[in-house]
Amino acid sequence: MFIKQQVNRGISFSIFLLFLFLISSVSWAQNLEAFEERVTEFTLENGLHFIIVERDIAPVASFMTFVNVGSANEPVNHTGIAHIFEHMVFKGSKTIGTTDWESEKEAIEKMDKVYRAWLEEKYNPNPDQEKLDRLWEEFENYQEQASQYVINNEFSQIVEREGGVGLNAFTSADGTGYFYSLPQNKAELWFSLESDRFKNPVFREFYREKEVIFEERRMRTDSSPVGRLVEEFISVAYSAHPYRNPIIGWPSDITATTIQDTREFFETYYAPSSFTIAIAGDVDPDRMKELAETYFADLPAGEPAPKVKTIEPEQRGERRFVIEDDSQPFFLAGYHTVNQMHPDWAPLQLLGSIISDGRTSRLYRRLVQDEQLALDVAAFNGFPGTKYSSMFLTLAVPNRGVPLEDIENTINEEIQKVKAGEISREELDRAITNARADLVRSLNSNMGLALRLAETHAQQGDWRRIFTFLDDLQEVTLEDLERVANTYLVKQNRTVGKIVNRQETEEVAASEDNL
Amino acid sequence: MNDWDKIVKKLVLIPLVFLLVSVQLLDAQKRWDEIEYPPLNSFEKPDIEIFQLENGITFYLVEDDELPLINLRVLVRTGGVLVPNEKAGLQSIVGTVMRTGGTTSIDSDELNEMLENRAAQMETGIGFTSGSATMNVLSEDFEDLLPVFVDLLKNPAFPQEKIDLAKTQQKSSISRRNDNQSSVANREFRRLIYGPDTVYGRNVEYSTIDNITRNDLSAFHSQSFVGQNLIIGVIGDFKMNEIKPKLDAAFSPITSGEKLELEFPEVDYSFESSINFVDKRDVNQSYILLGHIGGMRENPDYAKLQVMNRVLSGGFSGRLFQVVRSEKGLAYSVFGSYGSNNFFPGTFTAGVMTQSSTTAEAITAVKHEIERLQQESISQEELENTIDRFLNSLVFEYDSRASVLNERISYDYAGLDPDAFDKLVEEIQAVTVEDVQEVAQKYLRPDALKILVVGNGSEIGDQLLQFGEVNEIDITIPEFAEDEAALIGE
């Protein structure tokens, strides 16, 4: 139910790894072996993939349904539809959440038909207002009719009553995840409920839920200075690739999306082969496999989801924009880079870490500590997603009264030093060590494990990439860092977005007028 | 293949087919309410080893060898409650500079490199009711880094340049405090409930930051970080008998000092309804908070109040979510709960974010749900569902060894019995529908709500007038004293 702006720093993880910090003496292959003993994988005939991780720390288990479909897959006119569908999955099924599905379905279908007619009329060059009003009234009647049969949030109530916790979902540019945790003896409940809601999706309370989504948009984007900046930023930085669209969708597209559109989206993209399900916790993998066959094998295989084939064209020149706002200033710049399967991904991850992670990093030392230009500064690769050609971002929150130009110039100077080959072996080693440590520290959570394994399998073809990526990091040289900086962090490839304070700008303008 | 073979094959195949069918039958798909659950696997709570040093430091140890790490967390009896209004923000500066300033023997750059080269973490921070210092290291680095950590607790250098840096950063944060709608709302609501000049409601201002000196930092540190005020939890990959002497040797040099008594002033609260407004022209949604003063954890009605809270706003099943979000589509975010604090009264706060045009409608809808808790008793079914949600998810209360340790330490710090949680479980099981209505009537005052709306005045129009005379709150940030002087000079 929330939007995940995926920020993947490419730092991966593993379990029971005593050798983790030893830099080069032990290959990841050995650690992988230890971990593999706890992982069971299988693919059903229809293409649905399962990953089971045994972790018997406590009698609980976490369930993650990761669907390799995100906002980047959305059709024209319907940005936000991946997220709208995500909300609908909480509305139950043909048997859960309704007192009479057949009657409800009839009302829902009539309601959608009238809504579509209303939409068509609305976009006529000369819409007939009387007709619009009449259609709207009819629409509201059907909506009211359908609502008689609704058992409010029955799906979620069952989960919560049985002791489920952390029930939620996210939509990112690259994928959609549905998740909760249960006491370990109730795994079958998850299989029953989860298979039911994806086999029998209903578009219950669809238009009411779109109102909820509009409120979500107002909260995350419209009423948040950084939300507004980021939405503007991706739409300027990307010309062609769907990473340019906000995950929550443009308001007019949310309005224009009907039940019919959403069902079509589901049928096109939610093939079993788009699913990776990971279960982590105190569970028996053989039993999980039996239950997977029982509950998911009858999902028809269908056609695999269409792939995104738009490739972001090379940028022809620097792009800049300024938002004059009530808020205090903010600086954001980004450079187009590569996707996560590209060999330059590893050096770009390390580059971000070296210049901005921790108190020893170059940007922190200079901007935050020594010159006190910024309250905070960050640089990382992997935005707005990682599956397709991504961006390396630098961002800074200026200290009170510090001009944004000073921030930008200083960051550029630091990037220049990287390009000139100033990074030391010590800095590189430290970044690799910290990547490994971050990984280990992230291991003590069932849900964290489930998400990372499912996502990595879905997007990179094998969860083992979590481990082997650390080998990739290990092989990065100082020359690689210098090379990727010179290749990607160049002006022509850059987008710069700023928030400036409206009041300050007006004061400056006024004083200039007086001169 | 001869005929005999074929017959044999058929004979073999027939039972196989049956077998497959019967397996399928055994494992048929079940509706959620047809499933029989196997018994839950058991969980043994780890033993917590507790011991005290002569200087008063109490240790709580739990072995956990899942990862090759040791995690040490010091809980310090101190907090912002000790700081006078004119130096508001002092505790936070102390917490920051203890770490960023290094120690009298290791300067900060050296410390940062030493730690980050080993991916070791040490952090310090001080909040309103307690302080904390943490160390998270690879178990093989523990012995080497433990003395560094103790040095950090005992001998922070507080160099002036790092104090100035922390003050600059605090001031930058102040300058940005009106940018984010939710922080404006939460801050101003707190001030409405507790009073703007109280220790609970005051703001950190440019002037209070300017009032803070290095001596203040040293004095605050030396009264807080002494043995009598320290509780230390250690969890990770170690052996009990090996780590104890190491901890003893490392921490014994810390002076015993005096136990700090944290005094929490009475809240002078009177129940009065009011409608308050902050105009923010760059938003299209109203951030609404409404409520009044809440209570204390030690209240004998605590368990009943927890059930009431869950009926009102527990996950997807609570009434506010059901009605205000799902049925009416008025909000994405809606919540409400009667807060019970350990050290000073909490607040009863309900909140909703809705588009400007439905501000009044959302307030009325939330208020209605509060009133309904008082006016009609909840159904037996709603009660049972609510209690089931709590009981069935109890297993997550201890879903790691660390959760057992953390609970024990926080209970001890708050002065609660170690079995307070078990007691709560028992009491919740005994709550009746009458109890829920009774506590709703006793503790909720929908007739005397303080309502705060942070939103766009030009879009909201006159909607708020129906709730009374609107009190507009000015959130202009008081300027630097030196800037004021400069302005007067002109």
Position B14 scores a pLDDT of 42
Contact A250, A80 (CB under 8 A): yes
Question: Alpha-carbon torsion A464, A469, A474, A480, what sign?
Answer: positive
Answer whether residue B41 shows pLDDT above 60.
yes
Contact A58 B27 (CB under 8 A): no
Asked whether residue B26 is domain-assigned, the answer is no
Residue B57 maps to which CATH number? 3.30.830.10
Contact B41 A56 (CB under 8 A): yes
N-terminal to C-terminal alpha carbon distance within chain B = 112
Q: If DSSP states are collapsed to H, E and C, what string results for A279-297?
A: EEECCCHHHHHHHHHHHHC
Provide the residue-wise pLDDT of chain A in tens; the chain has 515 residues.
554 443 333 222 222 333 333 333 344 445 667 778 899 999 999 999 999 999 999 999 999 999 999 999 999 899 999 999 999 999 999 999 999 999 999 999 999 999 999 999 999 999 999 999 999 999 999 999 999 999 999 999 999 999 999 999 999 999 999 999 999 999 999 999 999 999 999 999 999 999 999 999 999 999 999 999 999 999 999 999 999 999 999 999 999 999 999 999 999 999 999 999 999 999 999 999 999 999 999 999 999 999 999 999 999 999 999 999 999 999 999 999 999 999 999 999 999 999 999 999 999 999 999 999 999 999 999 999 999 999 999 999 999 999 999 999 999 999 999 999 999 999 999 999 999 888 888 778 999 999 999 999 999 999 999 988 999 999 999 999 999 999 999 999 999 999 999 987 777 666 655 54
Q: Do residue B233 and residue B319 come from a single domain?
A: no
Q: At what angle do helices B142-154 and B90-100 cross, to 10 degrees?
A: 140
Position B215 scores a pLDDT of 98
Q: Do residue B163 and residue B106 come from a single domain?
A: yes
Q: Is B413 exposed, middle or buried (0-12, 13-18, 19+ CB in 10 A)?
A: middle
In B, minimum Cα distance to A190 occurs at: B32
Banded model confidence at residue B487, pLDDT cuts 50, 70, 90: very low
Touching check for A370 and chain B: CB below 8 Å? no
Position A413 scores a pLDDT of 98
Q: Do residue B335 and residue B455 come from a single domain?
A: yes
pTM of the model: 0.92
- In angstroms and rounded to an integer, the radius of gyration of the C-alpha atoms of chain B is 29
Residue whose C-alpha is closest to residue A467's, from A85, A26, A6: A26
- Chain A window 191-230: which residues touch B at a Cβ cutoff of 8 Å? 192-193, 195-196, 205, 208-216, 218-219, 222-225
Q: Do residue B216 and residue B150 come from a single domain?
A: yes
Asked whether residue B400 is domain-assigned, the answer is yes
**Nearest-CA distance from A131 to chain B in Å?**
25
Position A2 scores a pLDDT of 52
Q: Do residue B279 and residue B324 come from a single domain?
A: yes
Asked whether residue B221 is domain-assigned, the answer is yes
Of B29, B388, B402, Cβ closest to residue A161: B388
Asked whether residue B427 is domain-assigned, the answer is yes
Query: Which residues in chain B touch residue A161, judged by CB atoms under 8 angstroms apart?
Result: 317, 385, 388-389, 392
Of A152, A183, A358, Cβ closest to residue B327: A152
Average pLDDT over residues B115-123: 96
Average pLDDT over residues B28-53: 94
- Chain A window 425-454: which residues touch B at a Cβ cutoff of 8 Å? 426, 429-430, 433-434, 436-438, 440-441, 443-444
Q: Do residue B97 and residue B149 come from a single domain?
A: yes
ipTM given for this complex = 0.91
Asked whether residue B487 is domain-assigned, the answer is no
Number of domains chain B is built from: 2
Domains of chain A: 2-13+26-296 (3.30.830.10), 319-514 (3.30.830.10)
CA–CA separation, A135 and A123 (whole Å)? 14
Asked whether residue B1 is domain-assigned, the answer is no
Q: Which domain holds residue B81?
A: 49-251
Position A328 scores a pLDDT of 96
Q: Do residue B59 and residue B114 come from a single domain?
A: yes
Q: Do residue B407 and residue B466 come from a single domain?
A: yes
Q: Do residue B313 and residue B447 come from a single domain?
A: yes
Q: Do residue B422 and residue B339 come from a single domain?
A: yes
Contact A95, A81 (CB under 8 A): no
Residue whose C-alpha is closest to residue B388's, from A281, A186, A488: A186
Asked whether residue B180 is domain-assigned, the answer is yes
Number of A:B CB contacts under 8 A?
Answer: 224
Using the structure block, give the residue that is written with the tokens 């860092």: A481
Answer whether residue B488 shows pLDDT above 50.
no
**Nearest-CA distance from A139 to chain B in Å?**
16
Q: Do residue B221 and residue B285 come from a single domain?
A: no
Which residues on neighbouring strands pair with residue B143, listed in sequence order? none
Instruction: Locate B305 and state its tokens.
Output: 């109040």
DSSP states of A261-285: HHHHHHHHH--GGGEEEEEEES--H
In tens, the pLDDT along A394-446 reads 999 999 999 999 999 999 999 999 999 999 999 999 999 999 888 888 778 99
Q: Do residue B243 and residue B349 come from a single domain?
A: no
Q: If DSSP states are collapsed to H, E and C, what string results for chain B?
A: CCHHHHHHHHHHHHHHHHHHHHHHHHCCCCCHHHCCCCCCCCCCCCCCEEEECCCCCEEEEEECCCCCEEEEEEEECCCHHHCCHHHCCHHHHHHHHHHHCCECCCCHHHHHHHHHHCCCEEEEEECCCCEEEEEEEEHHHHHHHHHHHHHHHHCECCCHHHHHHHHHHHHHHHHCCCCCHHHHHHHHHHHHHHCCCCCCCCCCCHHHHHCCCHHHHHHHHHHHCCHHHEEEEEEECCCHHHHHHHHHHHHCCCCCCCCCCCCCCCCCCCCCCEEEEEECCCCCEEEEEEEEECEECCCCCHHHHHHHHHHHHCCCCCHHHHHHHHHCCCCCCEEEEECEECCCCCEEEEEEEEEHHHHHHHHHHHHHHHHHHHHCCCCHHHHHHHHHHHHHCHHHHHCCHHHHHHHHHHHHHHCCCCCHHHHHHHHHHCCCHHHHHHHHHHHCCHHHCEEEEEECHHHHCCHHHHHCCEEECCCCCCCCHHHHHHHHHC
3-state helix, strand, coil in chain A (%, to 5): 50, 15, 35
CA–CA separation, B120 and B396 (whole Å)? 29
**Nearest-CA distance from A465 to chain B in Å?**
21
A514: three-class secondary structure by DSSP: helix
In tens, the pLDDT along B260-282 reads 999 999 999 999 999 999 999 99
CA–CA separation, A452 and A349 (whole Å)? 17
Position A22 scores a pLDDT of 37
Contact A213 B138 (CB under 8 A): no
Instruction: Locate A186 and state its tokens.
Output: 């109730």
Asked whether residue B490 is domain-assigned, the answer is no
Query: Which residues in chain A touch residue B328, judged by CB atoms under 8 angstroms apart?
Result: 208
